Chain A
Amino acid sequence: MWRLFLIALLGAAGTSQAEVGGDAENGQTLFRQCSGCHEVGQGARDRIGPHLNNIFDRPAGAADGYRYSAGLQRAADGGLVWTYETLDDFIENPRRLVSNTRMSFHGFEAQQERDDLLAYLRQFSASPGNIPEAAPTAAAVDHAVAPEVLAIIGDPAYGEYLSGECTSCHQASGATDGIPSIINWPAGDFVVVMHAYKEGVRAHPVMQMMAGRLSNEEIAALAAYFESIE
């Protein structure tokens, strides 16, 4: 009931953060959990996930040029529109609202956290002209990979063979439940993440082990393959 009240407020007034009950500043901190995959703000681009500028009132699945999961596409075809309420549901538990979404995120359980995050995102949504002159929210991970390593063009055929080591756990369909989807990532993001595991910057023993013996060329090959598969 009070959620409806919030929406009414949103629609009626000029949307300062106090009125939506969320603390945008805390939302900005919380957004760090999202920024591995999503950018928002001036110059934001689609990365592992789509950019989030103007997400409010945007029909689901509508970021130009982003390849959505079949699950999200189905929800979009069913008429899902991102409102305060649907976004609130989604970030509480992405897979409950959109089954088979590739977004592998456990969700924000606390209503206050969701309100804070949405208050933050709301700032980038009023209208395109309203987006603050802020730098986009960083690259996928804060891990530097040498430009010559990023520049390696991977062999997708070799990547396909190597991918057998990934698909014992990560589903080739992009389905995600307990283990994240790794398909259709921008190759550069894939390379950065794998090197972060390889060098122990990202903490996960299985991934550190798997990435640990991949050469630069092999990582590039995997990135090329996973970017390309349908």
Chain B
Amino acid sequence: MTFNRRIFLGSAAVTAGLLAAPMVRAQGKPRVVVVGGGAGGATAARYIAKDSQGAIDVTLVEPTRTYYTCFFSNLYLGGFRDMQSLGHSYGTLAAEYGINVVHDWAVGVDRDAKTVTLAGGSSLPYDRLILSPGIDFVDGAVEGWDLSSQNAMPHAYKGGSQTELLNAQIIAMPQGGTYAMVAPPNPYRCPPGPYERISMVAHTLKEVNPTAKILIADPKEKFSKQGLFEEGWNDHYAGMIERVGPDFGGADVVVDPAAMTLSIDGDVNNVDVCNVIPAMKAGRIAEIAGITEGSWAPVNAVDMSSKMDENIHVLGDAAAQGDMPKSGFSANSQAKVCANAVRGALTGSTVFPARFANTCWSLIDTEDGVKVGATYEATEEKIAKVDGFVSQTGESDELRAATYQESVGWYDGIVADMFG
């Protein structure tokens, strides 16, 4: 046995030497490559590795060594979490689940050869590819803004350094200054996210800069949990927040990062912080793989497979799947359906029917939490909503505090489900 194995390894090395590009080879097992180590990708990798018990070779490609969750990053801006508590290592996925964690960028997909090319030059062969790349921003979505201005006008819509930058700018605002947000058009990651952020920024400003103002330019008529947020803003931050909707030019926005101005419908506002959250699209690798249509990657609800390539699955924010909001919870839920289907396809294990769920908690002020959620099923056409609920206005303080506590428990739960 040992002898045979040595022979095999030896000949494999010779073969590899003959190839033009270095290949990362598995040992005859079916291979799954997962691109993106967030709520979709980390969960999918973990479930496939865990449930296949070594029968499937799983590689996870994720550039960052410490993953800072975007969910709960608003709580950092409100002073309710420190950044360290939002950071997670991939060590357990590698050590306890045997996942090959590769810290690199996926820069190419050859769908005929079924390989993924990495920025470092390696090439990873796959039997199934799972893309969970999150979001990127649409070029030119906000006039005057591009990625080179993200230091002057942060988006802070991917967790980590951008969030820390935005926080530093908020703290450094002059007394009575203005924090402005350019809110994104639908569809985008985390529908209540911009408005929870407004709440958390207001909470911080109320403490350190109580005469400061918050200005929102919003291209949308309505937004997620609107009644709940507006009630909360009235109760906790009266007179601080002004939102300009599309009727008053909220969609007609120009920014000047050098002059720190935000023009709404031609009206120029001098601002001290400008949080530009541009229109979004699927993470770039989905577009490179050629499986997007418009901004997103259409998928079959039953197993999250791409409508353009049956060997590629797309999870989370990047997918156009139907009724689910783009959220970490949704991505985590879709990942488990996908993992079950991929395992079934590659090893013949039982494939159970797809079922999805989502719940999003938002914090409005200290101990004032609200939530919205729904269940979903797979239809021929899309992921379709089955049932749902949303917190009510006028709920008791006790219930709101319990909802917040629950969200803290959920955070611990989902990161345990993602990272082991």
Do these two chains interact?
yes
**Which residues of A approach B to under 8 Å, CB–CB?**
157-158, 160-162, 164-165, 167-173, 175-179, 205-206, 208-210, 212-213
**Which residues of B approach A to under 8 Å, CB–CB?**
47, 51, 329, 332-333, 336, 340, 350, 352, 355, 357, 359, 371, 373-375, 386-389, 391, 405-410, 412-414, 416-417
Q: Which residues of A contact B416 (CB under 8 A)?
A: 167, 171-173, 175
Q: A168-B332, A178-B405 are in contact. Are A209 and B413 (CB under 8 A)?
A: no
* Alpha-carbon gap, A2 to B412, bound state (A): 39
Instruction: Report 27 cross-chain contacts, Cβ distance below 8 Å, ordered by A residue.
Output: A157-B350, A158-B352, A160-B51, A164-B47, A168-B359, A168-B414, A169-B359, A169-B409, A169-B410, A169-B414, A171-B413, A172-B416, A173-B416, A175-B412, A176-B409, A178-B409, A178-B412, A205-B371, A205-B391, A206-B371, A206-B406, A208-B389, A209-B375, A209-B387, A209-B388, A212-B387, A213-B355
Q: Nearest B residue to A164 by beta-carbon distance?
A: B336
Distance in angstroms from B410 CB to nearest chain A CB is: 5
Q: Nearest B residue to A160 by beta-carbon distance?
A: B51
* Alpha-carbon gap, A175 to B413, bound state (A): 9
Q: Which residues of A contact B391 (CB under 8 A)?
A: 205
Distance in angstroms from B377 CB to nearest chain A CB is: 8
Distance in angstroms from B399 CB to nearest chain A CB is: 10
Distance in angstroms from A123 CB to nearest chain B CB is: 32
Q: Which residues of A contact B374 (CB under 8 A)?
A: 209
- Check if B409 sits within 8 Å of A179, measured CB to CB: yes
* Alpha-carbon gap, A164 to B416, bound state (A): 12
* Alpha-carbon gap, A39 to B238, bound state (A): 50
Contact residue among A157, A179, A205, A210 (Cβ-Cβ distance under 8 Å from B413): A179
* Alpha-carbon gap, A213 to B340, bound state (A): 20
Closest 3 CB pairs of A and B: A178-B409, A179-B409, A164-B336
Q: Which residues of B contact A160 (CB under 8 A)?
A: 51
* Alpha-carbon gap, A176 to B373, bound state (A): 21
* Alpha-carbon gap, A148 to B271, bound state (A): 67
Contact residue among B350, B387, B388, B412 (Cβ-Cβ distance under 8 Å from A177): B412
Q: Which residues of A contact B359 (CB under 8 A)?
A: 168-169, 206
* Alpha-carbon gap, A14 to B388, bound state (A): 57
Q: Which residues of A contact B371 (CB under 8 A)?
A: 205-206
Q: Which residues of A contact B410 (CB under 8 A)?
A: 168-169, 178-179
Q: Which residues of A contact B407 (CB under 8 A)?
A: 178
Contact residue among A164, A171, A205 (Cβ-Cβ distance under 8 Å from B373): A205
* Alpha-carbon gap, A164 to B43, bound state (A): 10
Q: Beyond the given A162-B352, A178-B407, A209-B373, please list 17 additional residue pairs across the A-B interface where CB-CB is below 8 A.
A: A158-B352, A164-B47, A167-B413, A167-B417, A168-B417, A169-B410, A172-B416, A177-B412, A178-B408, A178-B409, A178-B410, A179-B406, A179-B412, A205-B389, A206-B373, A209-B387, A213-B386
Q: Nearest A residue to B355 by beta-carbon distance?
A: A165
- Check if A210 sits within 8 Å of B406, measured CB to CB: no
* Alpha-carbon gap, A26 to B371, bound state (A): 36
Q: Which residues of B contact A178 (CB under 8 A)?
A: 405-410, 412
* Alpha-carbon gap, A177 to B410, bound state (A): 9
Q: Which residues of B contact A205 (CB under 8 A)?
A: 371, 373, 389, 391
Q: A157-B350, A179-B409 are in contact. Are A168 and B333 (CB under 8 A)?
A: yes
Q: Nearest A residue to B414 by beta-carbon distance?
A: A168
- Check if A171 sits within 8 Å of B357, measured CB to CB: no
- Check if B414 sits within 8 Å of A161, measured CB to CB: no
Distance in angstroms from A131 CB to nearest chain B CB is: 36
* Alpha-carbon gap, A212 to B47, bound state (A): 25
Q: Nearest A residue to B415 by beta-carbon distance?
A: A171
Distance in angstroms from B186 CB to nearest chain A CB is: 24
* Alpha-carbon gap, A99 to B212, bound state (A): 42
Q: Which residues of B contact A172 (CB under 8 A)?
A: 416-417
